Amino acid sequence: MPRIPSRRRPGSTGATEAAVVVSEELFAPVSADVELCYQTFGDPDAEPLLLVMGLGGPMTWWDQDLCTLLARRGFYVIRYDNRDVGRSSRGTGQVTRSMVVRAGLGRKVKAPYSLVDMANDAFGLLDHLGVPAAHVAGISMGGMIAQTMAITGPDRVRSLVSIMSSTGRRTVGWQDPRLIPAMLAPRGTDKETYVASARKVGQLIGSPGYPEAEADARARAEVTYERGLNPAGVLRQMLAVLTQPDRGRALQACTMPAAVVHGMADRLVHPSGGRATAQAIPGATLLLIPGMGHDLPVELHETFADTIRRTADKA
């Protein structure tokens, strides 16, 4: 298996750290219809940590350096492509943009699958790996999936970290309406058009306090393109989000250690979503970060890793 060489982090002594073992991209049949692509970092005997990505995002949006950092913090890190993204199975069922708009307006629309189904995918991946319970961290839609896991399988979630997410209640975590045209616009099917459109969206929703380098943004978009685009799948995921229930009351029964992280400059999921999540989960800690938008700035990797580690240590 390949090994990632150590990198000096801010504040490090400069001493050489042991390389982190990284698996190839592997595949797990999690149900009769769904196979997930996944990758692991670190020692399989360490504490398992499942990372759940958000809407339309492949597992590679969990930056490799962050995954390596988490492995060095004592975790066996598992990242994966949700269904309908990257190299995981494509779903079925047609979803149109008009259906998405109707669901966004609160009208009844039937989604091809739900966040519960996506949470069951995650449990299926843990089953495939022989992991009875894991620490779980999720971003945006991934935070919603992680919350759903904590509700439907509390014995399998050792700790929960919900990042830039919400409870599903429509009166919190709203999206800046000026983003809607860009979020629904086609991204293009050729590489250069996709990269340009992805960069445009990134500039709209990214962290104003931590602007991303052009080269890094382009590299991530290129990897996303090369691993496979699925515009129809993004619409199916979007409908799963828009038809989710309000988890506020159910989250009150969660007893695992929990933390909520949210950017104060998040335009895609208003910080009220993070506040509502922390208020709903008994004993949850809330970290609001000025200047952070709807992304994972490299400057905050240590902060994310510290939060996940501290929360897991309470389990």
Q: Kindly state the tokens that stand for 180.
A: 């809607």
| pLDDT value of residue 27 | 98
Q: Which residue has the tokens 């990257």?
A: 86
**Domain containing residue 110:** 3-313
Tell me the CATH number at 214.
3.40.50.1820
CB-CB contact of 304 with 261 (8 Å): yes
How far, in Å, are 35, 55, 83, 121, 163 from residue 31 at the CA level?
A: 7, 21, 11, 7, 27
Residue length of the chain = 315
Domain count of the chain? 1
| pLDDT value of residue 12 | 39
How far, in Å, are 62, 87, 182 from residue 81 at the CA level?
A: 10, 7, 23
| pLDDT value of residue 186 | 75
| pLDDT value of residue 178 | 85
| pLDDT value of residue 215 | 95
Q: What is the pTM of this model?
A: 0.93
pLDDT beneath 50, residues of the chain = 1-16
Torsion of CA 169, 296, 221, 86, to 10 degrees: -60
